[in-house]
Amino acid sequence: GSLASALRSLVVAAPVAARLPLMRSTLLGAAPTSQRRCFATAAATARDARLPDVLPPRGRLFGLGGEVERASALAAAPAWRRASDEWLVEYHFEELDSTQSFVEREYSGFDPTRLTVVSADFQTRGKGTRDRNWEAVRGQSVLVTFYFRFPLECSTSFVNRNAPNVTKVLSIALVDTLQWAVAASVPRPSVGLDLGIKWPNDVVANGQKIAGVVARAVVSEGRLESVIVGAGLNVNQTQADMDRIKRPVWPATSLKAVTGLSGGFDVAALRQQLAVNFADELRLFFAEGFAAFRERINAMDVLLRSEPAAREVRFRISERSEIEGEFAGVDEEGHIVIRTHDGRARSFPAGEIVLRSPEDSLRPT
């Protein structure tokens, strides 16, 4: 059915026993009780959350071999940290083959009641969608992968309906993080910065791709229980670095290149802020599903904000089926909406947008 086609590219195999040297790990508090209730009362619980009195023995957390550091106190954390930190577990490496691959191997050892984020300064085999490589310069990008499990109180129908939209939720968190970084570091930008989302989930800045999202689902006993979702965000690369990435449509850029900030940005601060932003968005996602995000996604969509003529597209439903019409954003299920020339609005869980020019494809990248 439509759900199966939307999720076909998300399913991963069972994890393989593999271990890499952990550079740093931090446990930041206990999971709010609201997670066990599908976050129905997330806001109230977040206010009452506290750090645990007892942590696992050092070096034993999840059997990954890393040392566990306890946060001294929430009050001592940077001002941008919020209540969502209290169920975040963060692991950072100097180098990995891929944060996505690492999580796909190791997720069975993660605490299912927490949101785990794995990051690295450099990836030797970074993953993009459709098995493409993600190119990055050492220490100049935010390279992260998140793992979370849907609370057991979320019904199977709720999970199946909303899981394909996790990538869009992370895209929103990416845009919010970029806006935060620019506001904090570029008080008087020399040029305007137009941030948006290119369907289905790429993040673009001034018409150039600045971040991408890739996801896999974990299915257990017929239930889509958890999600592995990663992001690559170009931060401090020069435009010359970005121009080496061959992209005929939506060429690559970085935050430094597009803002002209000579000193660059604090990559670690962006990485941490992204984790907090995504954690906050997940609380709302678990409580209300994608319907709570639809308006924001459509407001951020660069094609929807373009001139009417630019919204006229061919939509490839399958290799043998295409329709023509106007791109009309996404509906409350997260499905793309195409308004055909007979006035009907048709929704599809997946497919490919093709612009008038064959080389100008808006396919997921």
25-34, 53-62, 155-164: range with highest mean pLDDT: 155-164
Q: Tell me the pTM.
A: 0.76
Residue 226 has pLDDT above 70, yes or no: yes
What 8-state DSSP symbol labels residue 131? G
Count of Cβ atoms closer than 10 Å to residue 288 Cβ: 14
Count of Cβ atoms closer than 10 Å to residue 124 Cβ: 10
Question: Measuring CA to CA, how many Å separate 180 from each of 6, 174, 265?
Answer: 32, 10, 11
Question: Measuring CA to CA, how many Å separate 38 from each of 33, 34, 91, 149, 165?
Answer: 9, 6, 25, 11, 17
Q: Residue 218: which of 7, 3, 46, 11 has the closest Cα? A: 11
Query: Starting from the edge strand earliest in sequence, which strands make up the sheet with 336-340, in order?
Result: 345-348, 336-340, 321-330, 312-318, 352-354
pLDDT tens profile 240-261: 887 777 665 678 999 999 998 8
Q: Once rounded to an integer, what is the mean pLDDT over residues 330-355?
A: 92
Cα(233)–Cα(140) distance, integer angstroms:
9
Residue 297 has pLDDT above 90, yes or no: yes
The pLDDT assigned to 83 comes to 45
Residue 359 has pLDDT above 60, yes or no: no
Beta bridge partners of 218: 226
Beta bridge partners of 227: 148, 217
Residue 190 has pLDDT above 60, yes or no: no
pLDDT tens profile 126-181: 655 445 555 567 889 999 999 999 998 899 999 999 999 999 999 999 999 999 99
pLDDT tens profile 200-223: 889 999 999 999 999 999 988 778
The pLDDT assigned to 329 comes to 96
Residue 268 has pLDDT above 50, yes or no: yes
Helix (H) or strand (E) holding 354: strand 352-354
Cα(95)–Cα(184) distance, integer angstroms:
28
Q: Once rounded to an integer, what is the mean pLDDT over residues 296-315?
A: 91
308 compared with 20, residue with greater pLDDT: 308
Q: Once rounded to an integer, what is the mean pLDDT over residues 5-29?
A: 36
Q: Residue 199: which of 307, 76, 301 has the closest Cα? A: 301
Banded pLDDT at 319 (limits 50, 70, 90): confident
Contact status, residue 251 vs residue 242, Cβ threshold 8 Å: yes
Helix (H) or strand (E) holding 26: strand 24-28
| Cβ-based neighbours of 158, under 8 Å, separated by 6 or more | 38, 150, 289
